[in-house]
Structure 1
């Protein structure tokens, strides 16, 4: 096939697997992999810096649509869904496989304190570890989809928003987001008693396309590339400039003393601003409240009182390590409390058939209705699921044993980790479907608690087995948002399944290579990539083994845990009762993230949150693009810095250093030799 004929075949979308899945095309998968690789590098860089990554599902759909406008035959809505499904599966591997937390935590081990030397995996070992955990969540997705999307119709806000965006861009009637079998918070059967409050917005009744949707579509088609290009270029240029002049990203806004001694400086990263826009104003406010309490109140208190005598930034005996425990208490409590109604609902659903007497003595058992609207040839067969899960567990256990050895973790512990991951996936997916938040941080801590009992004293096993369990919950949750989008836009679940498998497979190589290069060029954790979540994993493992906390941290940990436990309970109740107060209650997880990161990360995100709030409330309706325009610009900011970070990595690898260390006297610049 000549190159011209191949290009025509690729552009026309003829390269599909079979006539039953026309949306699964070579061009859709190729574009999805390209976008996903960029997101993967971006998420790895940002995750190692702040512990926070983004699914980027809406951004992937937007960029895929913009790219498709350059082809002779634009992508269909179903192809766009395959694009964003493949991109998300590729881009979220840094978190799902633990490259931003688990592997850096293993590198922090101390033979004197932990009984084992630091573990630094080679490229081959890291790839084997990734392969061990990369597919379990993918094979969990089809049965979970059947339960939470088809039967219970959980809303999955991000997945629904992506479906609505795709419908707008392709001039389709808005997807039917009416919830026919759910009323309020709890899932009920269609023949349940009436009279329960039901607040549902059935956008399918609004007509084919409103005026606002038309203006957003016109904006994306005519101005989307321009805004994406200038935001991408600006963020990339600023990042490259900061590589050669590191002081640009460490501005001592409150003076050199506070910057050097108390880590109060500002990083004007447009990527952080873009993340703040994507997170939204409430989340960034919660994060900055945590930053203020942690770094302006508790950090000086612990230092001046002598509870944390080391340097403020020291994670072992400094204030940063002291406030880590308070953050850990907040995260565990907030996540656990928010899971209570989800677990309770899960138990109620399991018990409902018994209460309703489905198993009748006379054998006249009512048939359960199947609400699936896809034909069998478009679904993932259950035999594939069973074989895939079995192979994932067996092969994954063998690979983990080969990588870490019998002394690192017993094979039976890894098997339990996979089964625990399946259970936690059900809980995490339900929480994500209701609240748009996958509480994997809390779920990971639950798994660590269990393995502290199963293999007491073995910190390596505690971290690894916890990572195995968390990986399934994280991946299944991320992919479920995509399946919700596909369900609303009538895309083939099997085509999405193929995209998820391909994206996860490619991401093993991409993520492992990127992490290996970063690890060779930079100290991880270190000044440029502090990897804050690594200290959370290692800190909890040590606490569960030793039971010792830094001086007086237990009282503050208990107090803040109690406070945010009550706030989380009130927020959960307010969400169930449809109260408007819930959005004003700080998010415990975001509040704790403000503790984990230095103020420089949170301040920039607050700027993004403020931009999002002002633009949405004052300018979105006047501007032609509405909220979509800000999403495009934020995507350019995030991807621009992520892509140029690859350039910075290559420069660092080949020994190209900074041009000038002027202004780095405070010793905080990542690329200067003045770092203390």
Structure 2
């Protein structure tokens, strides 16, 4: 248990250390002192760090009682909220922080408030438990996760005619329609859950994989349900609500000044007009300040470095080559001009980083499996990780014994998982070619044959490193199916659809195993967790397309470079598909050479980062650096402002910063994110902002004055 705590993200330590000290003096006096002094000390230490002894007087509800109506009602409304947040981030920068803390905190607050009211009215039938809290968190994350894996900001929107025109390739496209999107998600989103269920005991109990995010969430939920944790959670929710209101009202205020795309505070040249022309400016976005407060410092610095390297150095130098490297007068959006360098160099860095981490996580996976196999051969039993292999099973800690007992109690029959996978795979293989006629049934069959292996690799790698490589496996499908299909047989659309199938399988598999880890540490039934995940995924298959449809209909310029919602990854994924089908023939001059250089640089930077060990944490991340290459560095400045706020706060009062920082950040993200809903409704109703706030240079202003004077 002590070793597990050392691997938890900083979010776990947000003032929730009360668990470790929640055992009363009376309970300490009950400890038996028979045996040696060292054994007594060991038992005393176990008592001090034990979580389950704090809850040992509470009965664990049956798996059916953990699945309450109120839990799913709260989950539904939170799913809508978080789907808007994830969708807005998807369609703007593509950087999505972990929202597990917010989901757990808000789920606790709403149900706790409701049960308090019922308790005072003497009509409370079932108390609120940490198991029910875990069910809510699982359902919300599963639902809002579809907003990411559904590809609304990447492969799915990349199929549209608008993105096809931006890529100068209109031969193959499929515009979004609510009906086929929902049908597509329903036939591909459940296979990942079924493919990994039979391996839950091996991954969680036998291999004892850490799953840092799942572990962090579990400790957070356990903390909420202690008296000290409940008090702190109440204060955190108060802070979240305060900054939610400020962020929402700030979004409402800004709306009045945005009559067109080039108006408003997001067009404020805060660093000067020349810097603004190269997309260096602070756009007063509360959501990215909040994201910056949640993301690690190195992510924010990496994004800023990438913006400076690209928009501060590379693009101005390449623009000077206009007429030599590419034709004049092509404009800023043509892939045969400067835009081609921006898109394909970003793709090269993303692929280099993805390939390195794919090989790294895969090697960790196989090495970990090899060690487990060798240990099993040597001892003829599977060991428990983080424990001396010479220790017999009887010396497991009280917490591990209790959790293992509950985890293996409610089994999910293997035949249900295997039968379900085969059934849904058969339905999917028959259905998908009717949605995408370019995606042949034998492409789908091959994907479903290898998907369980890749889902296991992603889930195992996520347990070791906390990295989900779902998008990397999706890119692998793009290039494989694209090359197989070819340009003459709709390879672009087939490869994007195959990317969606693969991404959904491997993403939901790792998410489910993270949730199983959370449930294991909170004594939530695996059966309840699985049902919650299925219900959450079903919600997401309907909620996420509807949320995307609101954005799609409300903002006609969705996916346009320079607009409020540029959807940068849509054009990136589209051009990856074109690259996989057609090769490099259509790239501008020297673009391929620069792609090779940046591709290699991404691998070398990652290698140096790993070789330096702890000192490598100061090396920037190539994946984060690549994002502003296409989009610009403006959001990086916002994120760095968020980092600066948190840094100063930690210097002034680290305890308060650790306790309330994530709540403040979540409030900023949620408020600005949910403002997207009324903004979309106003746009659909044809209500336009009344004011345009613009900034002009002195020379331009003089010309305007002369024009108006005439």
Residue of structure 1 equivalent to 2:111: 68
Residue of structure 2 equivalent to 1:97: 150
Q: How does 1:157-236 map to 2 (within 5 A)?
A: 157-171=212-226, 214=228, 217-221=230-234, 223-236=235-248
Q: Give the TM-score normalised by structure 2.
A: 0.78
649-658 vs 341-350, greater mean Cα deviation: 341-350
Q: Is residue 438 from structure 1 mapped to residue 476 from structure 2 by the alignment?
A: no
1-structure distance, mates of 2:664, 2:280: 28
Residue of structure 1 equivalent to 2:397: none
Per-residue CA deviations over 1:294-335 (Å, capped at 9, x if unaligned) read 211112122112246567752624534412222212221222
- Superposition RMSD in Å: 2.8
Residue of structure 2 equivalent to 1:620: 654
Q: Is residue 644 from structure 1 mapped to residue 675 from structure 2 by the alignment?
A: yes
1:305/1:136 CA distance change after superposition, 3 Å: same
242-251 vs 612-621, greater mean Cα deviation: 612-621
Which of the numbers 244, 247, 266 marks the counterpart of 1:249? 266
Residue of structure 2 equivalent to 1:585: 619
Which of the numbers 663, 684, 690 marks the counterpart of 1:632? 663
Indicate if the aligned counterparts of 1:57 and 1:162 stay in contact, CA closer than 8 A: yes
Residue of structure 1 equivalent to 2:303: 287
Q: Is residue 494 from structure 1 mapped to residue 527 from structure 2 by the alignment?
A: yes
Residue of structure 1 equivalent to 2:96: 53
2-structure distance, mates of 1:128, 1:509: 9
Question: SS of 1:491's equivalent?
Answer: coil
Which of the numbers 410, 419, 424 marks the counterpart of 1:387? 419
Q: How does 1:363-378 map to 2 (within 5 A)?
A: 366=380, 373-374=405-406, 376-378=408-410
1:267/1:467 CA distance change after superposition, 3 Å: same
Give 1:368 shift: 5.2
1:596/1:164 CA distance change after superposition, 3 Å: farther
Residue of structure 2 equivalent to 1:132: 187
Give 1:245 shift: 1.2
Which of the numbers 629, 637, 648 marks the counterpart of 1:603? 637
Question: SS of 2:468's equivalent?
Answer: coil
2-structure distance, mates of 1:596, 1:136: 34
Which of the numbers 656, 660, 672 marks the counterpart of 2:687? 656
2-structure distance, mates of 1:439, 1:416: 20
Residue of structure 1 equivalent to 2:29: none
2-structure distance, mates of 1:146, 1:72: 34
Question: SS of 1:513's equivalent?
Answer: helix
124-133 vs 85-94, greater mean Cα deviation: 124-133
1-structure distance, mates of 2:172, 2:380: 61
2-structure distance, mates of 1:47, 1:129: 19
Q: How does 1:391-410 map to 2 (within 5 A)?
A: 391-405=423-437, 408-410=438-440
Greater Rg, structure 1 or structure 2?
2
Per-residue CA deviations over 1:82-104 (Å, capped at 9, x if unaligned) read 11100001111111111111122
1-structure distance, mates of 2:665, 2:239: 10
2-structure distance, mates of 1:590, 1:299: 18
Indicate if the aligned counterparts of 2:558 and 2:565 stay in contact, CA closer than 8 A: yes
Per-residue CA deviations over 1:425-481 (Å, capped at 9, x if unaligned) read 233323322332223332222222211332122111111112211221222223332
Residue of structure 2 equivalent to 1:670: none
1:144/1:595 CA distance change after superposition, 3 Å: farther
Indicate if the aligned counterparts of 1:486 and 1:493 stay in contact, CA closer than 8 A: yes
2-structure distance, mates of 1:508, 1:492: 24
Residue of structure 1 equivalent to 2:591: 553
Question: SS of 2:284's equivalent?
Answer: coil
2-structure distance, mates of 1:326, 1:437: 24
Gaps of 5+ in 2: 1-60, 117-126, 259-263, 385-392, 394-403, 698-710
How many pairs align?
Answer: 592
1:419/1:470 CA distance change after superposition, 3 Å: farther
Indicate if the aligned counterparts of 2:375 and 2:382 stay in contact, CA closer than 8 A: no
Give 1:355 shift: 6.3
Residue of structure 2 equivalent to 1:538: 574
Give 1:111 shift: 12
Q: Is residue 504 from structure 1 mapped to residue 517 from structure 2 by the alignment?
A: no
1:496/1:129 CA distance change after superposition, 3 Å: same
Give 1:651 shift: 0.5
Per-residue CA deviations over 1:387-418 (Å, capped at 9, x if unaligned) read 2212332222333222122xx21111122233
Indicate if the aligned counterparts of 1:273 and 1:607 stay in contact, CA closer than 8 A: yes
460-469 vs 138-147, greater mean Cα deviation: 138-147
Indicate if the aligned counterparts of 2:247 and 2:668 stay in contact, CA closer than 8 A: yes
Residue of structure 1 equivalent to 2:9: none
Q: Is residue 296 from structure 1 mapped to residue 312 from structure 2 by the alignment?
A: yes
Residue of structure 2 equivalent to 1:470: 503
Gaps of 5+ in 1: 1-17, 173-213, 360-364, 667-676
146-155 vs 343-352, greater mean Cα deviation: 343-352
1:383/1:313 CA distance change after superposition, 3 Å: farther
1:439/1:311 CA distance change after superposition, 3 Å: farther
Give 1:270 shift: 0.6
